[in-house]
Structure 1
Amino acid sequence: AGGGQGVGADVQRAASPAGARWFGGAPAAAGVGFVPAPMLSGAQSPRATPALALRMRRDRRIRARLSLTDASIILFATVATTVGVLWATPTLTVISPELVLATPAIVVAVWLITLAGFRSREMSVLGSGALEYRRVVHATALAFGALAVPCLAFDWPAMRLQLLIALPAGLLALLIGRWQWRRWLLSRRRIGEHVARTILVGDRDEVAYVLERLASMPDLSYHVLGAAIDDTDPQPLTLHDRTIPVLCCKATLSETAERMGADTVILASNPDADPDYLTRLSRQLEGTCAELVLYSRLTDVAGPRISFRPVDGLPLIHVQIPTFDGGKHLIKRATDIIVASLALIAVAIISIPIAIAIKLDSPGPILFRQQRVGRDGHTFTMLKFRTMHIDAEQQLAALKAQHDGAGPMFKLRHDPRVTRIGHYLRTHSLDELPQFWNALTGDMSVVGPRPPLPDEATSYDGTVLRRLYLKPGITGLWQISGRSDLSWDDSVRLDLRYIENWSVMHDLMIIFRTARIIVHPTGAY
C-alpha cells in the first residue's frame, strides 16, 4: 500500500475521491478486490462501558415514565376543564366548536414543551426537592404567559377558562406528582437502587469531608465505592459505621472506574501543581463515567447562585453574591402576611382547647413572652404558649451544668421545668403557633433562622452573626432537619445556608415539610 510510503500515504489517498472509492466503496475498476481502509491508532472515539450503558438506559426509562405522568396529569386537567366548560356553557360550541375542541391540545403541547425546555426531568434534579419544583413552576408560568397572549389578542373564551382553571389545578397536580415520584425515588435509593456508583478523588482530608457531606444528603443519590488518594497511607477512611476503601491512586483512576463499573467521579481537590489534571482526567474517563463532579470550596452555595459563563473559550464560573434587601424580600414579606393571616384563623380555633389544657395543668399565664434577637440585632417580644412551670427562669442557673448541647444554645433532653401538657405542645411544635402574630406584625418571618436569646447572640462571632441578616422564622431548615438533635455547628450551618440561598419555592417546601414534622415529630424536647 503505497510502495513503502507508509500509513500517511494511505490516509492521504483515502481522503481523495478516488481513494474513497478504493478504500471504502466499490472497487475503482472491474476485477479489482476490496481493500479495507487502515485505521489510525487511538483515533476511534470512546464507547460507553456496559455499566455506563446500563445506567443510561435506566435513566431514560425513569424520564420516560415521568414524562408519561406529566402528560397524563396535564391532559386530564385540560380535558376535564373543557368538559366542565361545555357542560356549563354549551353556547361556546355553537360559536366555534373546532376551536373549543382544539384548545386542550394546544395547552397540552405548549405545557409539555416548556417543561422539557426548562429541563425539569433531568436526572440531576430529580429528587432534589426545591430545584425540581422551581423548574416545574417556572415552566408552567412561561406556558401561562405564552398562552395568555393569543387569548387576549383574539378574545379566546375557551383558552381563558383553561388559563383560569386548568393551569393552576394542573400545576398543583404536577407538584404533587413530582413529590410522589421523589418519595418513590428516595425509597429505591435507600435499598441501593437508582444511585450513582461513585469514586472520590483528592487529598485524604478533603475526601473525608466530602464523604461526610454526602452521608448527610437527604436525596441519597451517591453510593461511594471507594476513594482514589495519592499518599503513602493505605488505611481506609472510616465514617460512622462505614469503611470506605482506598481503591487506587489518581494515575490509575480511569482503569479502576471502568473495572468497578463506576458512573460518577467526584473530584474533591485539584492538585495545585498540575493545572491540566482536570482536563486530562475528563478525557481519561470518556466512555467509563457519565458524570465528573467537582467539589466547590464555596461552602453551602446553592445551585441557583452558580452559573457557567464561557467567554471566548475561557470557562468562567459566575457566583451571584447574596442580597438581603430588594424586590425578592418584598415577595417574602407578602408571603409572610398571607400565610400568617390564614394561619391565625386556624390558630384562633385551636387556641381554645390548648389554653384550657394549660390552665388546668399548672398555674400561670397561657402565653409566654420572651425577648429574642431579630434582624440586624434588634430585640422583640416573641410569643409562645407556656410549656414550663412559672418559676422556670429561676431554675435555669441550677440546670446549666446538665446542658446537653454544644455552643451557647441551652438544650436539656429531660427538662424538669416542662409541664405535662408542655411536653406534648413542644413535641408537636404547637407551642410556637402564637408566633404567627409575630410574623404578621413583621418581627419574624414564617421561614427563617432560629431566633436566639440575647445572651446567646452576644456570644456570636463574625460568621455566626450572619444569622441575624434575615428575620428569624417560626420554622426553618433547623426544624425539618432534626431540631434539638442537631449539634450547634450543624444548626449554624443550616441557618447560614438558608440565609445565603433562600427562595420563595424553598420557603414553601420548608412549610410543607414542617407540616409533616408536626404530625410525625422527631428531635423535639
Structure 2
Amino acid sequence: MALTVDLLGAATPVGVLGALEGQPRPLLTGVLVGAAWPLVEALRGRYAPESLGRRGAVLPVVRDWLTMLGGLASVCVAARIEVSAAAWVVALLPCLVATVAHRELAHRHTSASRDRAPGPRRVLVVGEAEGVDGLLARLAGRTDGEYLVVGSHVVGGGTADPAQPAPVRLPVGAAGRSDGEGADAVLKRAVEADADLVFVVPGRSLSGERLRRLAWALHDDGRDLAVVPGLVDVARHRLRPARVAGMTVLHVVPAARRGLPVLSKRVTDVVGALVLAVLLAPLLVAVALAVRLSSPGPVVYRQVRVGQGRVPFRMWKFRTMVDAADRMRPALEAVNEHDGAMFKMRRDPRVTRLGRVLRRYSLDELPQLYNVLAGHMSLVGPRPPLPEEVERYDETELRRLSVKPGITGLWQVSGRSDLSWEETVALDLSYVDNWSYAKDVDLLARTLRAVVSARGAY
C-alpha cells in the first residue's frame, strides 16, 4: 500500500502537468518521476515494517522529498532539460502530502492493532542470577503491557532473588550435561511456562556458542529469542550493528552536539520564537493586562535559573504568585509535595487565582520566547533548574545541564508535576542522550496536546 501511494502520488500529478504544458511523452515522464520517489524511499529503508509504523515519520519523509528534488534537478541540468522549477515543485507536492498522510495512518493502524492484540508476549528470562534479577526488576517497573514475564531460568552459580518469578537452576559444566542438553533444558522450561519469547542476558555462563545452540533449539520449536545487551535508554537511531570476527557488535553513536542538526535546531528556535511572538502578540498583551489588574506586583517575573554548562541566566515568566513569594518559600519547604531537588505544591498558597489559570494552560511560560531569542534557552529541552536545586545535584543529575534548557520537553508531555523526581531525571537524561532534530519536532507537536489536557500542571 505504501509503495502504491508513493508511486501514484508522484506519477499522476507529474503526468498531468506534462500533458497540460504540452511536453513530449508526459506519460513516460510521469512514470519515471513516479518511480524516482519510491526508489528514494526504498534506499532510505522507509518500507520496512518498523519504519512504516513508527511515530514521527513526517520529518524523514520531508528530507527524502528534498533529496528527490535535488536528484531530479541534477538530472535535468546534466541532460539539459529546461523545466519550470516552481511548476515541478507544485506538481510534486501531492506525493509529499500523500506519503505523510499514509505514514500517519500506518502509525495509527499499528497502534490500534497493538491495542487489539490478544495479549502481551509471554517471556521467559534466561541468564545468570544477577542479570536475571536486574532484567526482571526493570520489566516489573514498566506498565505498558508489551511483555508478560512468565518465569525465569537461572544458569551458572549464584542465588536468584526469591521475590522474582520462580527460577529453575541450570548447572553449567555438571557431569553428563552438554551444551545441547542445556539448550534442551531451557526449551523445556519455555514449554512448561508457555513462553513464546525468551530473553537472554549474556554472561560467562552463556557464551556465543551456547547462545547459538539455544537459538537453534528455540527456533526449531517455533519460539523467538532476544538477546538483552545491557544498554539502558539508548535510542534505536544511535545503534549501528556490525560484524567483527564472526560476531555481531553494536556501535553506540553519541547524540549530535555540533554540525547541521544543531544548526537546524538553533534556526528553528529563532524562527519559531519570532513567529510565535508575532502570532501570540495579542494574547501576550491580554495576559500582561490581566496580571497587572489582578494583583499588585510586576507583570513579568524574572528568576535566576541555571542553563547549559551551569551558566546562570534570568528566565522570564508572567507573574503567577503574590509579590515577594520567594521570601515565603522557606516556610513551605516542610510541606513540599515533590521528592528530590524540585519544589512543587498542588495548592501553593502563594499562587494567585489568575496564576492558577495561567499555569494550567502554560500561558505563564510565553515570555520565555525572549530567552529563546537571546540564546539562553531552546524551544525544546529539559526545564531550567534553580541554583539551589543544582547545588543538590549528583553527577548523574548534572548531565541535564549539558544541553540548553527548553520551554517544553519530555517532562511537559509526560505528566509534568505529577512525575517523581526520579522519573523527571530519567526523562531529561533520555532527551540529552538520545537527542535528534526529529525528536524535537515530535515533542513540539505533542506539547499542544499536553497543554490542552493540562495534566500535571500546577
In the aligned structure 2, how far is the partner of 1:521 from the partner of 1:111?
41
Establish whether residue 208 from structure 1 lines up as the match of residue 136 from structure 2: yes
Greater shift, 247-256 or 491-500, is seen at 247-256
In the aligned structure 2, how far is the partner of 1:162 from the partner of 1:271?
61
CA contact (8 A) 1:230 1:249 kept: yes
Seen in structure 2, the aligned counterparts of structure 1 residues 287 and 148 have a Cα distance that, compared at 3 Å, is farther
CA contact (8 A) 1:247 1:256 kept: no
In the aligned structure 2, how far is the partner of 1:316 from the partner of 1:120?
24
Greater shift, 424-433 or 404-413, is seen at 424-433
CA contact (8 A) 1:254 1:285 kept: yes
In the aligned structure 2, how far is the partner of 1:487 from the partner of 1:272?
36
Establish whether residue 113 from structure 1 lines up as the match of residue 46 from structure 2: no
Aligned to 2:153: 229
Output the TM-score relative to the length of structure 2: 0.85
Output the TM-score relative to the length of structure 1: 0.75
CA contact (8 A) 1:81 1:165 kept: no
CA offset at residue 287 of structure 1?
4.1
In the aligned structure 2, how far is the partner of 1:508 from the partner of 1:385?
26
Residue 482 (structure 1) aligned to one of 410, 415, 420: 415
The total of aligned residue pairs comes to: 438
CA offset at residue 226 of structure 1?
1.6
CA contact (8 A) 1:207 1:227 kept: no
Aligned to 1:424: 357
CA contact (8 A) 1:374 1:451 kept: yes
CA contact (8 A) 2:14 2:29 kept: no
In the aligned structure 2, how far is the partner of 1:288 from the partner of 1:324?
46
CA offset at residue 185 of structure 1?
2.6
Q: How does 1:26-425 map to 2 (within 5 A)?
A: 68-69=1-2, 71-72=4-5, 75-76=8-9, 79-80=12-13, 83=16, 85=17, 90=20, 92-93=21-22, 95-96=23-24, 98=25, 100-130=26-56, 132-133=57-58, 135-156=60-81, 160=85, 164-168=89-93, 170-193=95-118, 196-202=121-127, 203=129, 204-212=132-140, 214-215=142-143, 222-230=146-154, 237=164, 246=166, 252-255=185-188, 257=190, 262-267=195-200, 269-275=201-207, 276-288=209-221, 291-322=224-255, 324-425=257-358
What RMSD in Å do the two structures reach over aligned CA positions? 3.0
Read off the aligned partner of 2:204 and give its amino acid letter. D
CA offset at residue 174 of structure 1?
2.8
CA contact (8 A) 1:119 1:135 kept: no
In the aligned structure 2, how far is the partner of 1:177 from the partner of 1:194?
27
Read off the aligned partner of 1:114 and give its amino acid letter. V
Seen in structure 2, the aligned counterparts of structure 1 residues 70 and 363 have a Cα distance that, compared at 3 Å, is farther
Aligned to 1:456: 389
The share of aligned pairs that are identical, in percent, is 36
Larger radius of gyration: 1
Read off the aligned partner of 1:153 and give its amino acid letter. A
Superposed CA offset, 1:36-72 (max 9, x none):
xxxxxxxxxxxxxxxxxxxxxxxxxxxxxxxx15633
Unaligned runs of 5+ in 2: 171-181
In the aligned structure 1, how far is the partner of 2:415 from the partner of 2:263?
29
CA offset at residue 414 of structure 1?
1.6
Read off the aligned partner of 2:68 and give its amino acid letter. A
Seen in structure 2, the aligned counterparts of structure 1 residues 227 and 128 have a Cα distance that, compared at 3 Å, is farther
Seen in structure 2, the aligned counterparts of structure 1 residues 168 and 369 have a Cα distance that, compared at 3 Å, is farther
3-state SS of 2:219 partner: coil
Residue 435 (structure 2) aligned to one of 490, 493, 502: 502
Seen in structure 2, the aligned counterparts of structure 1 residues 470 and 108 have a Cα distance that, compared at 3 Å, is same
Seen in structure 2, the aligned counterparts of structure 1 residues 425 and 142 have a Cα distance that, compared at 3 Å, is same
Seen in structure 2, the aligned counterparts of structure 1 residues 361 and 233 have a Cα distance that, compared at 3 Å, is same
Greater shift, 469-478 or 121-130, is seen at 121-130
3-state SS of 2:73 partner: helix
Unaligned runs of 5+ in 1: 1-67, 238-244
CA offset at residue 349 of structure 1?
2.4
CA contact (8 A) 1:200 1:224 kept: no
Establish whether residue 519 from structure 1 lines up as the match of residue 452 from structure 2: yes
Seen in structure 2, the aligned counterparts of structure 1 residues 257 and 82 have a Cα distance that, compared at 3 Å, is farther
3-state SS of 1:471 partner: coil
CA contact (8 A) 1:309 1:315 kept: yes
Read off the aligned partner of 2:30 and give its amino acid letter. P
